[in-house]
Structures are given as structure tokens and as C-alpha cells.
Structure 1
Amino acid sequence: MIYPQNFENKIGFYQITQLLKEKCLSPLGEEKVSNISFSDKYEEVNEWTDQTAEFVQILQEEDDFPAQYFFDVRPSLKRIRIEGMYLDEEELFDLLRSLQTINSIVRFLSSQENNNEKEEASNSYLCLSRLANDICVFPKIVQRIGNILSPYGKIKDNASPELARIRRELSATMGSISRSLNNILRSAQSEGVVDKDVTPTMRDGRLVIPVAPALKRKIKGIVHDESASGKTVFIEPAEVVEANNRIRELESDERREIIRILSEFSASIRPYIPDLLLSYEFLAEIDFIRAKALLALQISGLKPAFENRPVLDWRMATHPLLQLSLAKHGKQIVPLDIELNAKQRILIISGPNAGGKSVCLKTVGLLQYMFQCGLLVPMHEGSHIGLFSDIFIDIGDEQSIEDDLSTYSSHLTNMKIMMKQCNERSLILIDEFGGGTEPQIGGAIAEAVLKRFNGKRTFGVITTHYQNLKHFAEDHEGVVNGAMLYDRHQMQALFQLRIGNPGSSFAVEIARKIGLPEDVIADAASIVGSEYINADKYLQDIVRDKRYWEGKRQSIRQREKQMEDTIARYQTELEEVHKAKKEILAKAREEAEQLIQEANARIENTIKNIKEAQAEKEKTRLARLELSDFKQNLDNDEAQKMQEDKIAKKMEKLRERQNRKKEKKQNTLQNNKLEETSQKKNETQMPLTPGSIVRIKGQTTVGQIIEINGKNATVAFGSMKTTTKLDKLERSNAQLTKTGLDTKSTFVSTQTQDSMYEKKLHFKQDIDVRGMRGDEALQAVTYFIDDAILVGMSRVRILHGTGTGILRTLIRQYLQTVNGVKHFEDEHVQFGGAGITVVDLD
């Protein structure tokens, strides 16, 4: 319920509707604006405001929304419901273009909905898409109109065979007349009957020749007209009269054929008129929503958090009309912060005259009414707006001579209706509560009415100057005082609302500013009494001190917030440092282990060479020299220096283990020494032939002899062939694999080992693919994962960002196909969350 009937005029909503109509593209939208309505249904208001918010997003982000040809052809469609009525060419052209616009809008919203389903994008137009569901677009009607009309809205020659024939004959006849007239004109010019620059012209649809009145008898024909000055007559020569008559007949035939075509088309679409009208209702709704979105952009309107209960928690709310008016003069509006909730439902605002109390009242009424009509409102996005079933307002002078009502009587009438109708879901807005009569009784009645409002747990904003109402707010739960601030030093209103304390009227200060004589002010002060003056002064001091401490508290809050942000940033950085430290230590351990393994391999290889050389002094010396060189390389490497003690201990343990093995096997070796020596001698004395399995002395790589040429042999080591001396080869009992290598003694060159060590040393466990296209990111991740598996990483991180989620989906689909990937998941929310994928490798 909205009370009174002129509610919209009182709060300025009528001006809002005028702004909306200016932004409409056609009468379709203007009609919707005229019928705009207040709703107290949560789902309805939520849908309206969501539609407007989505259209604001379209206006800001989309460039191809179809916003042309919003024609209202509903009157024409309703007219042709009657048999025999038809659409004329202009109406048909408007129907064609507006249907094309409807088709384009439906296609635009449907494509957006499909894209959102596929890409799971956040920028969706779900409410507008629902609005476009089940809207007919009539492609066959559009196609048929296109067959009838040209791109310029005229009936095509080939709209029907009969029309094509008529227009061909008409064109031929007019050409014949033109030629005849030119011949007659040239003859008349040569005889001096007409001037040289005269050309045929048209009068009453007939081609004629302009001739001077004195010479009109020189040309046989019919005089059709004369000029206004009487100096020229227009003669239709007798030779072309019949042809002109034929043109008239053909033009009539043409018009009849066009009417037949239009009537036939109108009859064909008559069954579809109800569906067509529904489609135009959709077009009207789109025009209306577009106008609301444009208004929202003009006044910086948005949709705050919407709650299905009576509540006002507004931050930086502004009166849109006042905002636009001040902006024209280069001024800034002072925003309003106001809160009404279950604990403080009624706000009593006091303060000086012209301090902004009424503006505050109208701002609350206008913004709440606008929002429940489906409009976006100018306030901070962190605000909360509720839902009220009734809004009552009492503002301004309601004197009525006809109804014998004074100002105060009209106020009391409004109070009576409000008390009867209001409930816990109502919002009442009263300006100058209790005014218009003797202050003492007026204040008492106002307090009694306020008590009833509070008893019904209604919500409201009330402005007053009465002290008893301020005291009532202090003593009763549910009612709270508020003050419009005033700068007493500069003697000007600040137009800022502060809730919690009552305001002062600053009557004495304002009187001094205006220039009232000081003796008058002193006399008034003595009449009212020093107690009242001091109380008002104390109230001013309280408000001033509160402003000061409020500013201090705000400053402290800001500093605390900065400190909290700084601490949080330091904690995050410290955690990152700890994490990096752990990663560095883990990497160092891996490198140390690899180094130890390499050292072990070298030691074992040296021991093996010594064994195979049967303790020959020269080969033992060479093996020890090789081991010494390797140790020297370790000493030169800074990373290996850090692990020198561990390597030395490991080598010592290996030596002790080898010595123990030697002691255990010594007896066995002595017993079998002769037998092994004899067997080895027999094997070495056997001649080498093509097909023999051999290796180069001192090496472990196994190959096969392909051919022997004298003292040289060609040997295949896997896919590589080499020629070497026979005396450098020796037989091997190892078996060849498919790659030509012994499965028990795989050979890896020092160069390859160094390359892999270098690759692992410089390998980064993170990759950033943000900003890449899908195929680029996928290729980069493929190479990255391959390298990670090659160097033996156990965990890597892929930074792809959140965005639309496309990169994240593509990368994870690829990871599912990689055998070396054991597990992947989102990074911890503290370190990036869904924007980073952590991959565990086998």
C-alpha cells in the first residue's frame, strides 16, 4: 500500500519517470514506464532489479546489442483483426524491421545463455534469457515481407506477376509519352512557340508542356492548369492524351494490385496476431529495461544486497534528482548513511532548519520506492536494502478549502490512517511531526502517536523540533535519535546525518547570522530561560565532541586495518620464505644424493677395473688417478663442497664394505684362481669371428662384430658402427638387448650425466601460463611436465589463474592422460587456490 495518492509527486518519483521516458526508444517503452508499479513481492522485485543490473552489464560490456527499430505496430496489428483491413506499405516496413529486431534480441540473449553453459562464465544474463524464452520470432513472416518489400520499404516489382506486368507496361507507356512530348517540344521550340530551356512537367498526374498564354493556340491539346502569376499555361498535347489516360488506368491497376498483395499478406498473418502481440510485449519490456539501465548509469545506481525483511542499512546513499541538479552546477552531494533494524526501527531526526532533514526523509522514501519498482538505486555496493509492504508519507502543506481542512487537520488525518493501516512491515515518513498547532499540545499528541507506532513495531523516519520526542527516543527501545550536523563556527549546515544523539535547532546562532538585533536575542533567551539555552548549548557541545571522537576512532580503525594488512602481508611472505627454504633444502638433498650416487658409481667402477686388471700396477695407478681427478672436480664445485664430508663418509663405508667382501671371498678366490685363470685363458685364446659378442678393453659397452678385414674389425654398438683394431677387443659373455646394450651394464656418457645434472640444477618447479591462448599454454605445459619427469621432480606447480576457467580445464584434461602424473589438485587457498594446479609426479 502506498499513501497518499500523490505519494510519487511528494518524493519526486514523477520526475524519475520523466527521465525514464526520455530514454525509451519508442512508445512501447513509454507505455511501460507509465504503468510502472510498486511491488512488495520479494521474487518479483528481485527479478526486476536483476534484469536491470544485467542490462547495465550489457551496456557496459557489449557493443553488438540490437537497439534499432523499436516500432510499435500493435495498433496496426489490432486493426487488421477485422476482415478486409490490411497493413499499408509503411506499416508493413515497420513490422519487418521490428520483427528483425526482436529476432536479433532473442538470438543475442540465447547465444549468451549457450556460451555461459559451455564456458561456465560469470558474465551471464540469466534473467534476460528467461525473459526471451518462448518468444516467437516468425522467420517465415520476415522472409515473406522481404519478398514483398524492397530494402527501402517499397513494394517490389516482382511482388506478384501481375504487378510486374503492370509496371512494365506503365514504364513503356511513360517512355512513349516522354518521347512524343520531346518531339512536340522540339518542334514548338523551333517555331518559337516555347522557350529553349522549357522541359515537360507534371500537372495532376499528367505530362504537360508550359506555354505562354498568348501562344496556347499554337499547340493543340487540353489546358490543365496555369501558373499563379498567369504568365504560363500547361497544355497536354492531343497526341499524348490517350497515353496519359492509359497511364492513369495503369496506375489504378497498380494500386489495386498492391492493395490485393497487402490484403492477402494481412489475411495470412491474421491467425498469428496474438503471438505477434506477445512478441511486441517482449520488445516493450526490453525497451523499458534498457531505459532503467540507462538511468542507473546516469545516477550511478546499483543493486545492493537485497533481503526479504524490513531493513535499511544504507551507505553513501544519494537523492538522484538532487545529485543531477548539483552536478549541473559543479557541486557535490553529501551522501546519506542511515540504518534501521529490529533494534532501532524508528529514527527521530532533529536539527536546524535548512539542515537537510526533509531531504533525508525524501531520499529514504524515493530510493525505497524506486527499488521496489525495479529500479537500481545510488548507494554503496556494501549497503543492504529490505522489503516493505506499505509506505506512508506525510510531508508538506495539505490545506484544503473544499474539504475544510487546515494544515494541522490534514496532518492528523494522515496520522489516523497511518495508525490504522501500519504494521511491522510498514515504513512511515513524517516531516515536522506534530507541527502546525500550539507546540505544547502538538508535541503531546505527536508523542502519543509515536507511542502507537512503536507499539506496532513499524519502521519510520520522522523529523521534528520537539524536545519531548527527543526524550521519548532516549527512553524507549526501538526508537533512536538522529541529528543533522551543523558547523557552529562557520555557521553553515553540513547536511550529514549522525544516529545516536538528538540535534540542536541552533536557533540563537542562526538568528545572529541573519542579523537579528542582539537585544532581541537576549530578550528571547531570558523568556525561554537559561536552563533551556544551556541545555541546547550542552547538546551542541556533545554533538561536537562526538564528531571529534568519532573522527579519532575512525582514524584508529584505519590504522588498525593498516596494521592488520601489514601483519597479514608479513605472515604470508614469511610462510613463502619458509616454503622456499624447505624447497631449497629438499632440492639440495636431492642433489647431494645424486652426487653420492655418482661418487659410489665411480668408486665401484674403479674397484671393478682394479679387479679386472688383476692388480696390474699401471692400470691400478690409472684407476686411482681417474678417481683422484673426479675428487678434484668435486672439490672445485661449490655445491659438492657443501656435501664433501658426507661423500667422504660414504666412500669410507664403501671401502670398508668392499674390504669385508674381499676377506670373505679371499679363500674362495684362492681355491678357484687356477680354474678361473685357465678358463679365461681359453676364452681369450679363442679367435674372434663375425658375430662374436665383444667389448673394447676397459669399457663396458657391448657390441657385435659385423666383419673382419685383416687386423681391423667393424663392430656395431646399438645403432652406431665403428672400426677398431682386433687386439683392442675382447670377448664378452653379456647378452645383447634390442638397443645393443647389456641390460645389466647400461653405459651413460659423462657428457650426458653432466647435461642432466645441469638441467636438474636449473629446473624451476613453477610455470606461469596466464595470458596465453589455449594451444600455447597446453604446449608449454607439455614440455614442462616432460622435463619435470626427466629430471625426477616429485612435485611441480602450474599457475594458470582463475579467469573463465578454460585454461584450468584444458590443462587438467591433459594431465589426466600423462602416465607419469600421480595426482593433481588446487593449491592451498592461502597460496593461490584454484588459480594454481599442484601436480605430484611418480
Structure 2
Amino acid sequence: MIYPHNFEQKIGFDQIRQLLKDKCLSTLGEERVAEMAFSDQFDEVQERLNQVTEFIRIIQEEDNFPAQYFFDVRPSLKRIRVEGMYLDEQELFDLRRSLETIRDIVRFLNKNEEEEEDTPYPSLKKLAGDIAVFPQLISKIDSILDKYGKIKDNASPGLSKIRRELNSTMSSISRSLNSILRSAQSEGYVDKDVTPTMRDGRLVIPVAPGLKRKIKGIVHDESASGKTVFIEPAEVVDANNRIRELEGEERREIIRILTAFTETVRPSIPEILQSYEFLAEIDFIRAKSHFAIQTNSIKPALENKQLLDWTMAVHPLLQLALAKQGKKVVPLDMELNNEQRILIISGPNAGGKSVCLKTVGLLQYMLQSGMLIPLHERSHAGMFGSIFIDIGDEQSIEDDLSTYSSHLTNMKIMIKNCNERSLILIDEFGGGTEPQIGGAIAEAVLKRYNDKKTYGVITTHYQNLKHYAEDHEGVVNGAMLYDRHLMQPLFQLQIGNPGSSFAVEIARKIGLPEDVIADASEIVGSEYINADKYLQDIVRDKRYWEGKRQTIRQREKHMETTIARYEEEIEELRKSRKEIIRQAKEEAERILQDSNAKIENTIRTIKETQADKEKTRQARQELSDFRQAMEDKATQELDEKITRKMQKLQEKQNRKKDKKQNTATKTPVATPKVDTIIVGSIVKLKGQTSVGEVLEISGKNAIVAFGSIKTTVKLDRLERSNATPVKKESVKSTFVSSETHDQMYEKKLNFKQDLDVRGMRGDEAIQAVTYFVDDAILVGMDRVRILHGTGTGILRTIIRQYLQTVPGVKHAADEHVQFGGAGITVVDLA
């Protein structure tokens, strides 16, 4: 139930209807807009909202949705139900094009069936259902009409014959006229630049009035100025008469063709009309979708219970009006639930109480009429069985009703019909009569609403209603905030405390004499003035601490995000360390296997040469030292890789510190000075007996040849030796894993420079972008693209915020408008 009869006008929904009609492509959709109605059926509303949500995705993500020909041919189809009636050429052309659009839309919505994939638009596909598309009818029309909507010459053998004779006769007349005209021009009867023209469907020659007798024929017309007459020469009169006959035959043959075609269409008219109902529904959904995009509307989380949990709700009409002035609407946070069903809003006049009331009524009505509404995506909405509103001056001279009588009538109807599924909206509750009794009646009525567990939003100035809200469960106070210093309303709703009317402050602002204000304060009493002042202070303090709490929440969220990012980096580092260790062990194992082979060869050589025990012991010792050197080298390379990784992480953290920390002076690390070891020195590892020769010194590292093996060793791990190194044939060795090299090469070949995160949640998208950017940097890409769509812009914002924290990202911006615009972020990498 919706009350009163002009409910839509009171909340502004009639203007919404007109805006929707303006967005329709045809009268098909306009009729659906006019028929749009409030529904209290949860499944029906859910399905309508899903249809609009899916169509918005089509608008934003698809380029080939067929929306070119939305013609309403229903009146013509209903007319030809009568025997003998037929569709004319234009009606037939409109039928053909609109049937083609219906066919293409059904095909578009069912396009994934052939691929055996789930459709991305299940609600719209369900709407398409078993809609007939009439391909044979379209082919039949194509055999009759050309691409411009005219009857083809070969539409029938008779028409083809008539048009051939018509063209032949026209050509004959044209030749005769040109011959007569040239003769008349040579004799000076007609000007040189004159050509044959058409008058009353007959070809004639323009001649000056004084020379009209020089050419035998019939005068058909003269110009408006009288300076030219149009003569049909006698030689072409019969041919022109034949033209008239052929044109009549052509019209009759066309009518015969159209009538015959209409006879074939007539049995299918009910099915065709059903297809046009589908086209009307698509036009209606399309209009709602474009309106939702214009007003940044979404589908909130819909629940099948009585609930209002709205964040950043906006009045769409006010939003559009202020947008033209370059202004923005102050969003509304509203919450009604089982614990606080009725909200009593108080505050100063012109502070936004009525706008708040209308916003609640309009958005809830839009939602249950199948429209998306402008609020934040984390909002929740419920369903109401009936909505009542009492707003404005309902004074009626005819019915002899005063304003207060009208309000009392509305109260009576609401008390009688409201229940626990009702939403009541009352402006200036109890107003219009003497305040004391008006407030008392309003409180008594409010008690009945609360007893019936009705939901509602009520505005008032009465103190007793504020006290009632404080003392009774189910009712809660709310205040429209006011800036006491600037003396202007903030248009913000705050639930929890009653609002002040700021009567004294407003009176002082507009310049009412101080003595008048003082007298008024004395009349009402200091207790009332002080209570109002304390109430203002409470509201001000609550605003202050609410702001502080919001700031703390933001900082906590930022801190949690930072901690999560660092934990992720640490986990990544741990995985990298494991991977490096694994690769290093594999490489070391391969080297050691080669070394063991050399060891076996050495032992075999010793046995074959029957060397003495001392030489055998010495050879084994050298091999043992060599093996130890290889293990030390593998350990050293592992430590260096991990150190480099830690340094990169430390540099990443340092870049996020302030400039003072970045400019802090770092203490240089002293390089140990090893003067005793030079190129050519005979050295050994400290604590080992194997000796080698220094081949090269680079900084604090030296390349040492231990027999046939060359290795890099830190200088501080070496000491000079007097022993002579064993000279052996040089053997090349490498410590680069060919497996790792192949993996990197394959990764670079298979890397794709585009990432599509459309449809993902925020956390999923960030995780995907993190891996994607890391891989791009790893394989050396200069530029990549991230496809996130436009939508509400939230996905684009959080991705951009994340990219600002990535050190390897030089720049991130929108793609060129021709290639996707704001729906794609282009990332340049360092």
C-alpha cells in the first residue's frame, strides 16, 4: 500500500519517471516506464535489480550490443488483424529492422550457449527465454524490400514487367522531348539552358508565354510570376498517358504484393507482439541502466526483511540539479533496524530535515520499483510492504480541511493501516496547531506507531517527542548538524542525540534586537536556554570525537595495510631464500659430482702407477681441500644473493621514510686491507692445507686457482703459503644454473603485457596486480596495461594507490581514450 494518492509527486518520483522516458529509444520503453510500479515481492525486486546491474555491465564492457532499431510496430500489427488490411512499405521496413534487432538481442544474450559456458548475464538471458525471432519472416521481407525500404523490381514477375515498360516509356519520352527541345532552341523559341521538367506527373517543356503557340501541345501549368508556361508537346501526350496507366498498375501490384505478404504474417501476430513486449522490456531496462550510470547508482545488498542501513545515500534529483551548478550533495548515512525502528529528526529550520525525509522515501520507492539507487556499495537495504507519507500543506478549501485537520486525517489512516512491515514518513509531526496539545497528540500517536513495531522517519521541533525517543526502546533521536560559528547548516544527519533548533542563534544572526532576544529568553526560562545550549555542546563534542575516531580508524587501516604488505614481502623473501638455497644446492651437487668423478680418476691413476702411501695421502688431502673450497664457494654465493635481496628490501623501506631519514649520512664500511697478498702469490684457505695461486684481485675478493679449479675467495679468508701448488690441466667450470636460465627465458616468452581484473573484489585485484607487476619487472618489461573497467571507479582507485607504493613503477595513467580511456591503467616500469 502506498499513501496518499499523490505519493510519487510528493517524493519527486514523477520527475524520475520523466527522466527515464527521455532515455527510452521508443514508445515501447516509455509505456513500461509509465507502468512501473512499487512491489513488495522480494524475488521480483531482486530480479529487476539484477537485470539493470547486468545491463550496466553490457554498456560499460560490450561494444556490439544491438540497440539501433527500436520501432513500435504494434499499432500496425493490431490493425492488420482485420482481413483486407495490409502493411505499407514504411511499416514493413520498420517491422523488418525491429525484428532484426530482437533477433540480434536474443542471440547476444544466448551467445555462450554454443560454447557451453555460463552466461555473464543470467537474468537478462532468463528474460529472453523462448522469445521467437522469426528468421524466415525477415528473409521474406528481404525478398520484397531493398536496403532502403522500397519494393524491389523483382518482388513479383508482374511488377518487374511493369517497371521495365515504365522505364522504356520514360526513356522514349525523354528522347522525344530532347529532340523537340533542341529544335525549339535552334529556332529561338526556348532558351539554351532550358531542360524538360515535371508537372502533375507529366514531362513538359518550359516556354515563354509569347511563344507558347510555336510548340504544338497542351499547356499544363504556368509559373507563379507568369513568365513561364509549361507545355506538353503533342508528340508525347500518348506516351505520358501510358506512364499514368503504368504508374497505376504499379501501385496496384505493390498493394497486391503487400496484401499477400500480410496474409502470411497474420497468423503469427500474437507471437510477434510477444517479441515486441520483450523489446519494450529491454528498452525499459536500458533506460534504467543509463539513469543509474548518470547518478552513480548501484544495487545494495538486498535482504528480505525490514532494514535501512545506508551509507552515503544521495537524493538523485538534488544531485543532478547541483551538478549543473558545479556543486555536490552532502551524502546521508541512515540506519533503521529492529532495535531502532523509528528515527526522530530534530534541528534548525532549513537544515535539511525535509530533504532527508524525501531522500529516504524516494530511494526506497525507487529500489522497490526495480531501480538502482545512489549510495555506497557497502550499504544494505530491506523490503517494506507499505509506505506512508505526510509532508507539506494539505489544506483543502473544497473539503473544508485545515492544515492540522489534514495532518490528523493522515495520522488516522496511518494508525489504522500500518504494521511491522510499514515505513512511515512524517514531516513536522504534530505541527499546525497549539504546541502543547499538538505535541501531546503527536506523542500519543508515536506511541501507537511504536507499539505496532512500525518503521519510520519523523521530523519535529517538539521537546516531548525528543524525550520520548530517549526513554523508549525502538525509537531513536537524530540531529541535523549546524555550524554555530559560521551560523549555517551542514546538512548532515547524526543519529544518537536530538538536535537543537538554534532559535536564539538564528534570531541573532538575522538581526533581531538583543532586547527582544533577552525578553524571549526570560519568558522561556534560563533552564530551557541552558538545556538547548548543553545540547548544542554535546552535538559539537560528538562531532569532534567522531572526527577523531574516524581519523584513528583510517590510520589503523593504513597501518594494517602496511603490516600486511611487509608480512607479504617477508614471506616472499623467505620463499626466495628457499629457492636460492635449493638452486645453490643443486648447483653444488652437480659440481661435487664432477669433483667426485675427478677424485675417482685420481685414485685410479694412483693405483695404476703404484704410488707410495705418502703421495696417495697427499693427493687425497688435496682433493679434500678442493671439495671444501667448492662448498665454501657455494655458501659464499648463497650469502651474497641473500644479502642483495635484503638490501633491496631495505632500500624499498627507506624510500618510504621522510626526507630527513633519506638524507642521513651513512657510515662507510671499511674494506679490510690485505697488503701481503698480490697477483701471483701462493695462498691457502685459513685452516686448510690445499694451496693455490692468486690469478686476479678485485676489491676485497681474489680469483685463486686450486689445481684445475678457479674460484673467487674473500681476501680475509686467505693466507700466504710456502708450499708449491700442484699444476694441473685447466678445466672450465661454471656456477650458473642452465635450468634457471631456461626457466627465465620461457617466462619472458610467455609473459602477457595485459592483465584483466574486471569483476574481481578489491583484495583479489591487488593480489593479481602484485604478481603481475613483479613478473613484469623480473622479465624486463617497459610498459604493461591493467584492465579494470570504469564502473564506480573504486577498483581503479585502489590499484592506482597500490602502484604508487611499488618502487619499480615510474608512472601510471589512463589509457588513451581511443583504446579504453579510464577503464585501463597504463603502467611504465623502471
| TM-score (normalised: structure 2) | 0.76
Matches within 5 A, 1:494-505: 494-505=490-501
SS in 2 for 1:286: helix
Q: What is the deviation of 1:490?
A: 0.5
Check 1:596–1:250 CA distance in 2 against 1; reply closer, same or farther (3 A cut): closer
Question: How many Å separate the matches in 2 of 1:156 and 1:591?
Answer: 81
**CA contact 1:603–1:627 (8 Å) conserved in 2:** no
Note the 1:387-398 alignment, pairs <5 A: 387-398=383-394
Measure how far apart 1:577 and its partner are: 4.0
- 1:521 is aligned to 2:500: no
Matches within 5 A, 1:81-100: 81-100=81-100
Q: Which residue of 1 aligns with 2:2?
A: 2
How far, CA to CA, are the matches of 2:245 and 2:46 in structure 1?
Answer: 63
Q: How does 1:709-728 map to 2 (within 5 A)?
A: none
SS across alignment from 2:359: helix
Q: Do the aligned residues in 1 keep the contact of 2:69 with 2:98 (CA within 8 Å)?
A: yes
Distance 2:61 2:554 in 1: 35
Q: Would the alpha carbon gap of residues 344 and 194 (structure 1) be closer, same or farther in structure 2, given more than 3 Å must change?
A: same
Cα deviation 1:276-302 (Å, max 9, x = unaligned): 111111111111111111101110111
Letter in 2 for 1:23: K
User: CA, structure 1 residues 339+750, in 2 after alignment: closer, same or farther (shift >3 Å)?
Assistant: farther
What does residue range 745-784 of structure 1 map to in structure 2 within 5 Å? 758-759=737-738, 772=751
Q: Which amino acid aligns with 2:610?
A: A
Q: Provide structure 2 residue ranges, at least 5 long, that are not aligned to the other structure.
A: 638-684, 690-728, 754-767, 773-830
> 1:8 and 1:444, CA in 2 relative to 1: closer, same or farther beyond 3 A?
same
Are the structure 2 counterparts of residues 192 and 334 from structure 1 closer, same or farther at C-alpha, using a change threshold of 3 Å? same
1:249 aligns with one of 245, 248, 259: 245
What's 2:32 paired with? 32
Indicate the residue corresponding to 2:42 in structure 1: 42
Residue 639 (str. 1) matches residue 633 (str. 2): yes
Distance 1:602 1:467, change over 3 A: same
Query: Aligned to 2:39, what secondary structure does the other structure show?
Result: coil
Contact 1:491 1:513 (C-alpha < 8 Å) held by counterparts? yes
Counterpart position of 2:610 = 615
Aligned to 1:64: 64
1:314 matched to 2:323? The reply is no
Query: SS of the residue aligned with 1:111?
Result: coil
Shift of 1:538: 0.8
SS in 2 for 1:257: helix
Structure 2 letter corresponding to 1:78: K
Instruction: Say if 1:768 and 1:800, in contact at 8 Å, map to a contact too.
Output: no
Partner of 2:362: 366
Partner AA of 1:635 in structure 2: A
2:467 counterpart letter in structure 1: H
CA displacement 1:819-841 (0-9 Å, x = unmatched): xxxxxxxxxxxxxxxxxxxxxxx
2:16 partner letter: I
Match of 1:375 in 2: 371
**What one-letter code is carried by the residue in structure 2 that aligns with 1:430?**
I
Distance in structure 1 (CA, Å) of the matches to 2:596 and 2:369: 83
Residue number in structure 1 paired with 2:818: none
Q: Which residue of 2 aligns with 1:297?
A: 293
Q: Which 5+ residue runs of structure 1 have no aligned equivalent?
A: 653-748, 775-798, 804-842
Determine the C-alpha separation between the residues in 1 that align with 2:442 and 2:218.
93
Relative distance call for 1:199 and 1:569 in structure 2 (3 A) is closer
Deviation at 1:755, TM superposition (A): 5.9
Structure-2 residue corresponding to 1:690: none
Runs of 4+ in 1 over 6 A off after TM superposition: 749-752, 760-767, 799-803
Q: How far apart are the structure 2 equivalents of 1:305 and 1:463?
A: 27
Give the CA deviation at 1:337: 0.4
Within the candidate set 479, 488, 492, 1:492 is matched to 488
Tell me, yes or no, if the aligned pair for 2:588 and 2:631 is still in contact at 8 Å. Answer: no
1:412 aligned to which of 404, 408, 411: 408
Contact between 1:314 and 1:384, CA under 8 Å: does it hold in 2? yes
Take 1:71 and 1:169, find their aligned partners in 2: how far apart are those partners?
36
Post-superposition offset of 1:109: 1.5
Matches within 5 A, 1:244-643: 244-585=240-581, 601-611=597-607, 613=608, 615-616=610-611, 625=619, 628=622, 631-632=625-626, 634-635=628-629, 638-639=632-633
Name the residue aligned to 1:15: 15
Residue in 2 aligned with 1:127?
Answer: 123
Cα separation, 1, equivalents of 2:271 and 2:307: 42
* CA deviation after TM superposition for structure 1 residue 597, in Å: 5.5
Q: Using the alignment, how far apart are the partners of 2:340 and 2:452 within structure 1? A: 13
Distance apart, 1:522 and its partner CA: 1.1
* Count of aligned residue pairs for this structure pair: 670
Inter-CA distance 292–55: structure 2 relative to 1 (3 Å threshold): same
Structure 2 SS opposite 1:249 = helix
Distance 1:155 1:532, change over 3 A: same
**2:75 partner letter:** P
Q: Describe the shift of the 1:576–1:570 C-alpha distance in structure 2 as closer, same or farther (beyond 3 A).
A: same
Tell me: CA distance 1:43–1:766, structure 2 relative to 1, closer, same or farther (3 Å): farther
1:316 is paired with a residue whose SS is strand
Change in CA separation of 1:435 and 1:114 when aligned onto 2, cut-off 3 Å: farther
**Shift in Å at residue 596 of structure 1?**
5.8
Contact 2:170-2:243 within 8 A present in 1 as well? yes
| Letter of the 1:44 counterpart | E
Closer, same or farther: CA 182–220 of 1 in aligned 2, 3 Å: same
Q: Shift of the alpha carbon at 1:133?
A: 2.4
- Match of 2:274, SS state, is helix
Corresponding residue to 1:208 among 204, 208, 212: 204
Shift of 1:197: 2.7
Change (3 A) 1:407 1:214: same
Letter in 1 for 2:567: Q
2:181 corresponding residue in structure 1:
185
Structure number with greater Rg is 1
- The alpha carbon displacement at 1:202 in A equals 1.5
Q: 1:353 to 1:112 in 2, by over 3 A?
A: farther
> CA 1:152–1:763 in 2, change beyond 3 Å: closer, same or farther?
closer
- 1:494 is displaced (CA, Å) by 0.2
Deviation at 1:13, TM superposition (A): 0.6
CA distance in 2, matches of 1:632, 1:800: 47
> Are 1:139 and 2:135 an aligned pair?
yes
User: Using the alignment, how far apart are the partners of 1:571 and 1:237 within structure 2?
Assistant: 101
Deviations 1:616-637 (A, max 9, x none): 559x959965973674475377
Shift in CA distance, 76/306, structure 1 to aligned 2, threshold 3 Å = same
- 2-side partners of 1:96 and 1:563: how far apart? 63
How far residue 461 of structure 1 moved from its aligned partner, in angstroms, is 0.4
1:800 shift after superposition: 11
Cα offset, 1:139, TM superposition: 1.0
Name the stretch that deviates more: 209-218 or 73-82: 209-218
Structure 2: distance between partners of 1:771 and 1:388 = 55
Q: Cα offset for 1:565?
A: 2.7
Task: Confirm or deny: 8 A CA contact 1:193 1:211 kept in the other structure.
Answer: yes
Aligned-pair identity (%): 70
Question: 1:203–1:225: 8 Å Cα contact kept in structure 2?
Answer: yes
CA distance in 2, matches of 1:770, 1:432: 71
Q: 1:518 to 1:266 in 2, by over 3 A?
A: same
* Residue identity in the other structure for 2:362: L
Structure 1 position 555, deviation (Å): 1.8
- Offset, 1:576: 3.8
AA aligned opposite 1:5: H
User: Is the 8 Å Cα contact of residues 29 and 284 (structure 1) preserved in structure 2?
Assistant: yes
1:89, CA displacement in angstroms? 0.6
* Length-normalised TM-score, structure 1: 0.75
Instruction: Give the Cα–Cα distance (whole angstroms) in 2 for the partners of residues 207 and 55 of structure 1.
Output: 56
